Amino acid sequence: MNYKDYINWEKMPTTWCPGCAIGTIFKQTTFALAEMALAAEDMTVVSGIGCSGRAAGYFNADSVHVTHGRAIPVAEGIKRANPKLKVIVFSGDGDLVGIGGNHLLHAARRDVDLAVICVNNGIYGMTGGQMAPTTPTGEKTLTSPHGTAYAPLNIQGIVTSNRRHWFARASTFHIVHLQKVIREAVEHPGFAFVEVMGFCIENSGRRLGFKSGHEMLTKLKSDYKLKAGPDGLLGDHELGVVKNDGQSG
């Protein structure tokens, strides 16, 4: 299989801006699917609302684009109804951990067999650039004009608070690693969450002073490092996988 087989070319070009993180994550996902040679009939992609929410429709498979924050429960319904389907959730941070946060808590607790790919750009991009639960402390946005007073939500902490868990952090600069963890997440028999760090250029990046998508990638390159060892949680600027099969540790 070729990655191109996983893209619905009739819907190209995407709505995403040049320099946006989502395109990279979408493409690495299609690479991972091609590597697994997953048949379109054996998979479904579910998205919520936001720029990332448009991703579901770009996959060359049956896909569902639902209401804001509800990608995980719809996906859980699908998985329970047909356990043979590989069900992939592709959505943003505002959708999955903001308005959909309660579903994340409980689907992770129930260890539902889903692969959740979360585009974390730390902002509500589609609506113009408002503060997200993941916005770094002090960052100015439309709804935090004096700088966000709060600490960003610790997604890793939420997912790994369950005894059995699978969590990965990746970035749109480290694309080989990104593809690898997406594949692992899809193959993991249980709830797998991939937090992908990336930027929104038009409604956040430019306000933060970035002049191009390339500058933002450079920032990811300098900020994030692959974690060397396999043990323990990831530091704030570490990429890697944290997992526990529920038997050990």
Partner 1 sequence: MKSLIMGNEAVACGALKAGMTFFAAYPITPASEIMHELAGREPEIAFVHAEDEIASIHMAIGASLAGRKAMTSTSGPGMSLKQEGIGLAHMMEVPLVVVNVQRVGPSTGMPTLPAQGDILQAAHGSHGDYVPIVLYPSSVEECYRYTIEAFNAAEESRSPVILLLDGYIAHLQETVDLDAVAIDPPIPRTLAPLGQGRRHFTGLLARDGVPRTKDTAYYREWYARVKAKMLEAAAHYRFFDYQKNPASDTLIIAYGITHRVVRPLRGSYSLFKPVRMFPVLEDEIRAAAAEHDKIVVVEMNDGQYRGEVQKVLRREVLGVNPLGGTISLKEIRERLREL
Task: Enumerate binding residues for partner 1 (CB under 8 A).
Answer: 8, 10-11, 40-44, 46, 56-57, 60-67, 70, 73-82, 85, 102-103, 105-106
Longest dimension (CA), the chain: 50
Q: Which is nearer to partner 1, 48 or 205 (CB)?
A: 48
Q: Which residues of 36-51 are buried (b: 16+ CB within 10 A; e: fewer)?
A: bebeeeebbbbbbbbb
Q: Which is nearer to partner 1, 5 or 139 (CB)?
A: 5
For residue 145, the minimal CB distance to partner 1 (Å) is 29
For residue 220, the minimal CB distance to partner 1 (Å) is 30
Are 178 and 25 spatial neighbours (Cβ–Cβ below 8 Å)? yes
Which of these, 29, 19, 74, 31, lies nearest to 49 by C-alpha position? 74
Burial label for 19, CB within 10 Å (0-12, 13-18, 19+), is buried
Q: Which is nearer to partner 1, 101 or 136 (CB)?
A: 101
For residue 242, the minimal CB distance to partner 1 (Å) is 23
Q: Which is nearer to partner 1, 37 or 228 (CB)?
A: 37
- Count other C-beta atoms under 10 Å from residue 144's C-beta: 17
Q: Which is nearer to partner 1, 70 or 180 (CB)?
A: 70
Helices within the chain (DSSP H only): 21-36, 55-58, 71-81, 93, 101-110, 155-160, 175-187, 206-208, 213-223
Tell me the two tokens of residue 85: 């389907």
Q: What are phi and psi of 114, to 5 degrees?
A: -130, 150
Q: Are strands 225-226 and 130-131 parallel, antiparallel or unpaired?
A: unpaired
For residue 30, the minimal CB distance to partner 1 (Å) is 14
Compute CA 86 distance to the chain's CA centroid, rounded to the nearest angstrom.
16
Tracing tokens 């960003």 back to the chain, one arrives at 152
For residue 162, the minimal CB distance to partner 1 (Å) is 14
Q: Which is nearer to partner 1, 98 or 213 (CB)?
A: 98
For residue 248, the minimal CB distance to partner 1 (Å) is 27
For residue 190, the minimal CB distance to partner 1 (Å) is 17
Q: Which is nearer to partner 1, 114 or 153 (CB)?
A: 114
